[in-house]
Amino acid sequence: MNKDRVKGIFDELAGGARRTAGELTDNPELQAKGALQQLKGKLEGTWGQAKQVVQDAIKDSDVHFDANVTLKTKNSTANAECKKMK
């Protein structure tokens, strides 16, 4: 679990508490702020999940960040050649 997901969980919980407090005190401004904080938490959590999926896919693939790509053109046809940097 990465920091974005943890922060998202925190914001969802804190936003829910804030929204509930706004409902109990009949304070629409506090309710709205709580709802926004909950939404922010959901978005952060989703962003964290997406980042984790990409990181896992990169880890499991044959493509590495240290790959050097050289593009060559020949008769308007682009050929890509991938070499690992040492």
pLDDT digits (tens, 9 = 90+) for 26-53: 999 999 999 999 999 999 999 999 999 8
Domain extent, residue 10, equals 3-84
CA 33, CA 36: separation in Å to the nearest integer? 5
How many structural domains is the chain composed of? 1
Confidence of residue 2 (pLDDT cuts 50, 70, 90): confident
What pTM value is reported for the model?
0.63
CB 24 within 8 A of CB 44: no
